Amino acid sequence: MKCEKLDVWKMSARLSANVYKAFATCKDYGFKDQITRASLSIPSNIAEGLEKMSLKDQIRFLDIAKGSVAEFSTQTYIAMDIGYLEKKTGKDWIETADKLLAMLTKLQQVKQEKMI
């Protein structure tokens, strides 16, 4: 896989694993499913996109990954507010999400420059 070499993929995969561990015992299955799916969607869309032949498709999947980051961030804020997640952990995850967004945006820009 091409994605395994990218820091953005490594960071997002690590975040997803941490989310799964943090919510392993959560009994609110709807919330647990939503936040774990959002976190899993980030590295998954990066991986899927980078295997596409066309740059346009690659950029589109990176955009989907960015949407998943935004969804995950929203759910993290809610998890902190309702007491499902410690504030320190939540803030760390939000900080990571912000870094991921910046990295994905930069990667998209690099791909777009190759299209020109």
DSSP-derived letter for residue 5 is: G
Instruction: Average pLDDT across each block of 10 residues of the chain; the chain has 116 residues. List them in order.
Output: 90 98 98 98 97 95 98 98 98 98 97 85
Among 3.30.565.10, 1.10.3720.10, 1.20.1440.60, 3.60.15.10, name the CATH number for the domain at 29-115.
Answer: 1.20.1440.60
pLDDT in tens, 13-39: 999 999 999 999 999 999 999 999 999
Give this prediction's pTM.
Answer: 0.95
Supply the DSSP string of 10-25, one letter for each residue.
HHHHHHHHHHHHHTTT
Asked if 52 and 58 touch (Cβ cutoff 8 Å), the reply is yes
Q: Look-up: residue for tokens 């777009």? A: 112
For the chain, the structural domain boundaries read 29-115
Q: Which of 106, 113, 105, 96 is nearest to 22 (CA)?
A: 96
Q: Can you give the pLDDT at residue 37? A: 98
Q: Kindly give, in sequence order, each residue whose CB lies less than 8 Å from that of residue 35, ignoring residues fewer than 6 positions away.
A: 19, 23, 72, 75, 76, 79
Q: Look-up: residue for tokens 């969607």? A: 41
